[in-house]
Amino acid sequence: MVFASFIENPSKTHYDGEDKGERILYVMRSAFLTNYKWLTLTIIMILAPFLMDIFLATLKFDGRMLLKPGFIVMFTLFWYTGTFGYFLTKFLLWYFNVYIITTKKIVDMDFRGLFYKNISEATLDNIEDVTSTVKGTFGVVFNIGNVFIQTAAETREFEFEGVHDPAKVRDIISDLVRDIRDSYMRGKGFSRRGEILLKED
């Protein structure tokens, strides 16, 4: 569940600004595979001290080690502390940058660094257009892409980046928007085609 990038009907999940009676239908984040660059770098950083320690231990001057063993140990500890900090920061940024679809809205929670959070939202009835794109070998092979949402709200454009199966996400949003509009039209006395409904006394 920690590494899930698509969660349907999450339990005990809430967000800042949630309305009374609103229910979260989907929580999404970028597909975990999109983290391959920093994960690869983290693995390299974990393995690097083994090679560096061997190299540093071979540095000698006048028959004696140029660097004391205590220095090498301290250097290794600092290196792994920095590596863990890098990994934790990247993981938390991936984990908390989420896209939420509720019964009323779409919400984009954007963390930039550990001390800045931006939340944008738009009601479903303000959504005008939803498109999805998959590009590049990586995107085509793993079916990972972006979903672009045009709205009439204050935030005109939303982008769900690097989501798995973007066509499915697009269809989910489009269906919810259609249902909202159909419900509104029926409430106003119109059918799905916009025809006036006959009401019996």
* Rounded (5°) CA angle 40-42-43: 65
* Rounded (5°) CA angle 71-73-75: 65
State the CATH number of the domain containing residue 151. Answer: 2.30.29.30
Specify if 153 maps to a domain: yes
Task: Report in angstroms the alpha-carbon separations of 113 from 57, 87, 89, 91, 167.
Answer: 37, 13, 8, 11, 29
Q: What percent of the chain has pLDDT over 70?
A: 83
**Rg of the chain taking only CA atoms, in angstroms:** 25
Q: In sequence order, what E strands does 71-183 have?
A: 98-102, 105-111, 117-123, 127-133, 144-151, 157-164
Q: Domain boundary at 44, 65, 92, which?
A: 92
Structure-token pair, residue 135: 């590009």
Residue 60, pLDDT score: 66
DSSP annotation of 90 reads: H
Q: Is residue 176 predicted with pLDDT exceeding 80?
A: yes
Q: Is residue 194 predicted with pLDDT exceeding 60?
A: no
Residue 123, pLDDT score: 93
Q: How far is residue 118's CA from residue 96's CA, in Å, rounded to a whole number? A: 11
Residue 49, pLDDT score: 84
Residue 159, pLDDT score: 95
DSSP code string of 39-72: HHHHHHHHHHHHHHHHHHHH-EETTEESS-HHHH
Q: How far is residue 68's CA from residue 173's CA, in Å, rounded to a whole number? A: 62
Q: Are residues 54 and 151 in the same domain?
A: no
Q: Are residues 165 and 107 in the same domain?
A: yes
Q: Are residues 103 and 79 in the same domain?
A: no
pLDDT tens-place string over residues 41-63: 999 999 988 877 666 666 666 66
Specify if 168 maps to a domain: yes
Summary mean pLDDT of the chain = 86
Average pLDDT over residues 161-185: 92
Q: Are residues 54 and 19 in the same domain?
A: no
Burial class, 158, CB count within 10 angstroms (exposed 0-12 / middle 13-18 / buried 19+): buried
pLDDT tens-place string over residues 68-83: 777 778 888 999 999 9
Top-confidence residue, 188 or 160: 160
Q: Are residues 20 and 102 in the same domain?
A: yes
pTM: 0.81
Domain hosting residue 105, numbered range: 6-30+97-187
pLDDT tens-place string over residues 91-147: 999 999 999 999 999 999 998 877 888 899 999 999 999 999 999 999 999 999 999
- Say how many Å lie between the first and final Cα of the chain, rounded: 53
Residue 201, pLDDT score: 37
SS3 197: coil
Residue 30: how many other CB atoms lie within 10 Å: 19
- Count: domains in the chain: 2
